Structure 1
Amino acid sequence: MEIYQHIDQVPQLAHRSPVLTIGNFDGVHLGHRKIFERLLSCADEANGAALCLTFDPHPLKVLRDESIKLLVAREEKIRILRRLGISGLILHPFDPGFAALSPEAFVQQILKERLGVRKLVVGYDYAFGKDRRGDQHFFDGLHQRGELEVEVVPALQIDGQIVSSSLIRHLVEQGDVDVVPRYLGRPYTLSGLVMEGDHRGKKIGFPTANLAYIQELLPPTGVYATIVRIGQKSFVGVTNIGYNPTFVQRRAVSVETHILDFDGDIYRMEIEVAFLEKIRDEKKFQSVSELVNQIERDVAHTRRKVTPPE
C-alpha cells in the first residue's frame, strides 16, 4: 500500500483506472468495511487501483474547533487499511482552505484532473465540500450527467442499529465495551507508551503498566478485563481507568494494567490494551488490604471469563 501525506504527493494519474473512496473512517468499523469491500470489488472489475482519501486532523477539529478523541489512532488506522488490501492511502491535511473548496472544484481539480478517478465509492451519509453540498443529490447529478460514476453504499444495520462511529463512540463512553465488537468488528483498543508510575501496584503485589500518550477515546472510569498485546505476544490483563482514590485523589485520569503471568520490563515500549468487559466501577476502599482483596477477586473473575491468547 502506497501512503501519501498530501494529495499533491500523488504523482498525477499515477494509478491506473483508480476507484476512490473518501471519508474519515474513524474506527474502520463494519459499516466502513462494507464500503471497502465494494471499493476493492469495483477496482477489481475495472482492473484498476483501489484508493482511499481520508483526512488528518479530523474535520470536526477544524470546522467546529472541537477537541475530538478518536476511536482509532492514526498508525493503527493505517495498519488496518493496509490489511484490507487497498492500493493507496492519501492522508490529506484538513484545513480551512480545503474546507472552503466547492464540490464542483474538488471533483474537477482533484478527482478528475489530479487523480484521474474512474469511479467514486462512498457511504450513504457522506458529504463533502463547502457547506457539505457534495451530498447524495450532488452525486446523483454527477452520475446522471456522465461526469463521474458514483456508487453510494447503503447503511449497514445490525440488531436494528445503523453501524456508525457515533454509535460506537457512545458505547465506549457508556463503558459498554463488551457490545462494541458487534459493530466495530474487534474489541475496542487503546495504545500508548508504558511509563514509570508510582510503583504502588508493585508494592501491594499487583504491578501495573501505566499507559501514556493515548490518542483514543477513553472508556469511563472503572475496572476492565482486557487483552494486552506486547510486540507479537498477547496476555490477559486487568485494567483500571481512574484516579486511584484509595491512595490519592488525582486530577488526571490514569490507565493502569496488571498483566497476568507476565514479569518483563516494558518501560518505554508501546503496547495495545483491548477491552473485553467492564468488571466494576472504580471505588475508594477503606484500607489497602480491602483493595488487595478486591483486586484478587477482579483477577479471579478475569481468569474465569478470558481465555489466554495463543
Structure 2
Amino acid sequence: MRFFRDPPDPGPDGPTVVTIGNFDGVHLGHQALIRRCRQVAGESGRVAVVTFEPLPRAWFSPDTAPPRLAGPAQKLALLQSAGVDLAWVMRFNGRSAALGADDFVTRVLVQGLAATHVVIGHDFRFGCGREGDFDRLRELGRAHGFGVEALAPVQVDGQTVSSTVVRAALTAGRFDQAAAALGRRYTLCGRVIRGRQLGRKLGYPTANVRPPRGGSPLAGIYAVHARVAGGPWRPGVASLGHRPAVGGGEALLEVHLFDFDGDLYGQRLETRFVEWIREERNFDDLAALTAQMNNDEDRARAILAAATPED
C-alpha cells in the first residue's frame, strides 16, 4: 500500500474507487466500505482511502475527544490488511476544516484521486460545518462524472458497529464483544522504547510502548499475548496507564513476557489483550508491589492457560 500526506504528489497512476472516514480501529463497518470499493474497482482497479490525522474531533475538542483505538501507523497497517491500495492521510487543521463541500470534492476526489466511484457510510458528512451529505455528494458526483453509493450500517447481535461501541466494550473489559465488532481480537502496536528499567530491578523486565496519542480506552493490568511482527505469540502480563505505584508519569503500556529473555528495543510489538485483571493502584512499599506483581503473574498464567493467541 502507498500512503501520502497533502497533497498526493505524484497522484495515483490512474482512476480510483474511494472511501472516506476516520477509520479508527478499522472495524467491520470500515471493512465493509473497503470490501465494496474492491468489488467496484475489480482486481485490477485501485482502492483509495481518505482519512485524517489528527482525527477531526481531537482537533476541534482535544480535551473531550474519545480515546483512540489505534495510532496512525497501526491504522495504516490495518487499512493495508483490509485491501487498500492508496491511503491519503490528510492533515486536519484550520485550513482543511474550512474546506467547503464543493472544494473538498474538487480538490480531493477529482483532482487528487481521480475518483470514478465513491463509497460512504450511511451517516457520512463532509465539508466545513459538515455541510455536505449523501445527496450533495451524489449531485457533485454527477457533475464531475463519478458514482456515489452509501452502505447500510453493519450490525452484530442487533447493534450497529461503530468505534464508539468498540471503545465502550474495551473499557468494560468485554473483549469478546470488541472482537465481534472488529472482526479480530483487539491489539495495540507500537515500537518498544527504553523506560526507567524499574521492572527489571523487581524481577519483571518489561517492553515499554507508548499508547496512541490521545489516550487508550484501556487502563489497568491485563493478561496478554504479545509478539514481534512475524514472530510467535508469547504469553505475558501487561500494565497500561500512568503507573502510580512507581511515581506516575506519561501513559505507558508495559508488557512482561513470561519465560522470555531477549532484546526488544526498537522493534514493533503487537499486544493482544485477553482479560482484565485489576485496576492500577499505589502500594506502601516495593515489597507490597512485588507481592502484587507475583499475584498478577499467577492470575495471568491461569487465564492464558485456558486461552490461545487465536481465541
Class of the TM-score when normalised by the shorter of the 2 chains: 0.7 to 0.9
The structure 2 residue matched to 1:52, chosen from 49, 71, 85, is: 49
Deviations 1:204-262 (A, max 9, x none): 443322333644742443221111112421211111234555x5452544432220121
Write the distance in 1 (CA, Å) between the matches of 2:4 and 2:250.
36
CA change 1:277–1:101 in 2 (3 A) is same
Aligned pair 1:236/2:235, yes or no?
yes
Q: 1:179 aligns to what SS in structure 2? A: helix
Shift of 1:289: 6.3
Write the distance in 2 (CA, Å) between the matches of 1:292 and 1:59.
39
Write the distance in 2 (CA, Å) between the matches of 1:289 and 1:143.
63
Q: What does residue 30 of structure 2 align with?
A: 32
Shift of 1:200: 4.5
Contact 1:139 1:150 in 2 (8 A): yes
Which aligned pairs between 1:144-159 and structure 2 lie closer than 5 A? 148-159=146-157
Contact 1:124 1:153 in 2 (8 A): yes
CA change 1:303–1:205 in 2 (3 A) is farther
Contact 1:204 1:292 in 2 (8 A): no
Shift of 1:2: 2.6
Q: What does residue 61 of structure 1 align with?
A: 58
The answer to which of 296-305 and 140-149 deviates more is 140-149
Gaps in structure 2 of 5+ consecutive residues? none
Write the distance in 1 (CA, Å) between the matches of 2:20 and 2:112.
15
Q: 1:118 aligns to what SS in structure 2? A: strand
**Normalising by the residue count of structure 2, what TM-score does the alignment of the two structures yield?**
0.85
**Normalising by the residue count of structure 1, what TM-score does the alignment of the two structures yield?**
0.85
Q: What does residue 295 of structure 2 align with?
A: 294
Q: What does residue 82 of structure 2 align with?
A: 84
Aligned pair 1:187/2:185, yes or no?
yes
CA change 1:72–1:216 in 2 (3 A) is farther
The answer to which of 168-177 and 28-37 deviates more is 168-177
Please tell me the residue identity of whatever aligns with 1:14. Answer: D
Contact 2:220 2:279 in 1 (8 A): yes
Contact 1:4 1:10 in 2 (8 A): no
Contact 2:67 2:217 in 1 (8 A): no
Contact 2:241 2:280 in 1 (8 A): yes
Q: What does residue 136 of structure 1 align with?
A: 134
Shift of 1:48: 3.6
Please tell me the residue identity of whatever aligns with 2:54. Answer: P
Q: What CA RMSD, in Å, does the superposition of the two structures yield over aligned residues?
A: 2.9
CA change 1:296–1:6 in 2 (3 A) is closer
Write the distance in 2 (CA, Å) between the matches of 1:113 and 1:192.
34
Write the distance in 2 (CA, Å) between the matches of 1:307 and 1:52.
33
Residue identity (%): 33
Contact 2:210 2:251 in 1 (8 A): no
CA change 1:302–1:111 in 2 (3 A) is same
Write the distance in 2 (CA, Å) between the matches of 1:195 and 1:72.
18
Write the distance in 2 (CA, Å) between the matches of 1:100 and 1:71.
26
Write the distance in 2 (CA, Å) between the matches of 1:85 and 1:51.
10
Deviations 1:121-151 (A, max 9, x none): 1111111011212112323544677854111
Write the distance in 1 (CA, Å) between the matches of 2:258 and 2:184.
22
Contact 1:30 1:184 in 2 (8 A): yes
Please tell me the residue identity of whatever aligns with 2:295. Answer: Q
Please tell me the residue identity of whatever aligns with 1:77. Answer: K
Q: What does residue 9 of structure 1 align with?
A: 9
Please tell me the residue identity of whatever aligns with 1:15. Answer: G
CA change 1:276–1:150 in 2 (3 A) is same
Shift of 1:275: 1.0
Gaps in structure 1 of 5+ consecutive residues? none
Q: 1:9 aligns to what SS in structure 2? A: coil
The structure 1 residue matched to 2:173, chosen from 172, 175, 178, is: 175
Write the distance in 1 (CA, Å) between the matches of 2:282 and 2:134.
52
Q: Tell me how many residue pairs correspond in the alignment.
A: 305
Please tell me the residue identity of whatever aligns with 1:9. Answer: D
The answer to which of 32-41 and 230-239 deviates more is 230-239
* Structure of larger gyration radius: 1
